[in-house]
């Protein structure tokens, strides 16, 4: 599904965030990205939904070369990637349901689709009862579940989560991981960048480790591999 071919990424200020990264991720996989702070995990995920563009190398998404994609095609790429953030990125002046519906409004879905898909997504993350609440009235874990509902509401084939549990306590993190696994079981590919050793070690999934912009380890059913 995703194929990085000798990808390098240098930020305009000269920081070499990724160096010659080659990586294949198949449909339906669950992949952890681990590594020290500044290793390039976030940069790698941003390349997939083209928030950033590689300086060298090719990135294929479902066979399509996204490094050579025209700007006007980018929105359609992004519609097939659901993104979950450490800081949730919810709109504070919209209700839970409106935040989730926003993902469909901006892609000009019909009112009927929205009325059907939003309650479904909230149901999947267990927040059906909070549909009318404002984000400020929710706990961190609940806010992150809203973020997840927004990411999956249009059934994207890929979900990217950048430190989704970074701001949450261990119990709440467990709930989030459980939901991500549920999403993955339904056939959605999941890529998650994290520092959470316990989670990675407990899940026995594929682990890709980055250090100073290079892939230094890629194991099926791997562990976190670093002392915190």
Ligand X SMILES: Nc1ncnc2c1ncn2[C@@H]1O[C@H](COP(=O)(O)OP(=O)(O)OP(=O)(O)O)[C@@H](O)[C@H]1O
Q: Tell me if 160 sits within 8 A of 102, measured CB to CB.
A: no
Q: Site for another protein (CB under 8 A): which residue of 26, 91, 186, 216?
A: 91
Site string for ligand X, 31-70 (x = CB under 6 A): ----x-xxxxxxx---------------------------
Instruction: Match 């689709």 to its residue by tokens.
Output: 113
Tokens found for residue 173: 């993190």
Single out the segment in contact with ligand X by CB under 6 A; choices: 9-17, 72-80, 127-135, 199-207.
9-17
Q: How far is the CB of 6 from ligand X (least distance, A)?
A: 18
Instruction: Match 């994207």 to its residue by tokens.
Output: 156
Q: Interface with another protein includes 64 (CB under 8 A)?
A: no
**Nearer of residues 42 and 165 to Mg ion, judged by Cβ:** 42
Q: Which of the listed partners (another protein, ligand X, Mg ion, none) does 111 bind, with a CB threshold of 5 to 8 Å by partner kind?
A: another protein
Q: Interface with ligand X includes 13 (CB under 6 A)?
A: yes
Q: How far is the CB of 183 from another protein (least distance, A)?
A: 17
Residue numbers at the binding site for ligand X (CB under 6 A): 11, 13, 15, 17, 35, 37-43
Catalog residues that contact another protein under the rule CB under 8 A: 49, 51, 71-72, 75-79, 83, 89, 91, 102-103, 105-108, 110-111, 150
């Amino acid at each position: 599904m995703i194929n990085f071919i000798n990808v390098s990424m240098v930020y305009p200020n000269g920081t070499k965030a990724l160096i010659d990264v080659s990586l294949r991720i198949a449909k339906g996989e669950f992949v952890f990205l681990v590594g020290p702070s500044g290793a390039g995990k976030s940069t790698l995920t941003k390349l997939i939904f083209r928030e950033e563009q590689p300086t060298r190398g090719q990135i294929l998404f479902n066979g399509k070369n996204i490094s050579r994609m025209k700007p006007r095609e980018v929105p359609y790429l992004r519609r097939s990637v659901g993104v979950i953030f450490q800081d949730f990125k919810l709109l504070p002046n919209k209700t839970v349901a409106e935040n989730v519906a926003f993902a469909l409004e901006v892609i000009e879905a019909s009112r009927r689709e929205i009325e059907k898909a939003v309650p479904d997504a909230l149901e999947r993350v267990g927040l059906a009862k909070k549909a009318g609440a404002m984000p400020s009235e929710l706990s961190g874990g609940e806010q992150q579940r809203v973020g997840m509902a927004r990411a999956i509401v249009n059934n994207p084939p890929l979900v990217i989560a950048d430190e989704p549990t970074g701001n949450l306590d261990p119990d709440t993190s467990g709930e989030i991981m459980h939901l991500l696994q549920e999403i993955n079981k339904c056939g959605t590919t999941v890529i998650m960048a994290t520092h959470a050793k316990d989670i990675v070690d407990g899940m026995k999934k594929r682990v890709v480790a980055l250090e100073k912009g290079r892939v230094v380890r890629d194991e099926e059913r791997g562990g976190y591999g670093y002392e915190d």
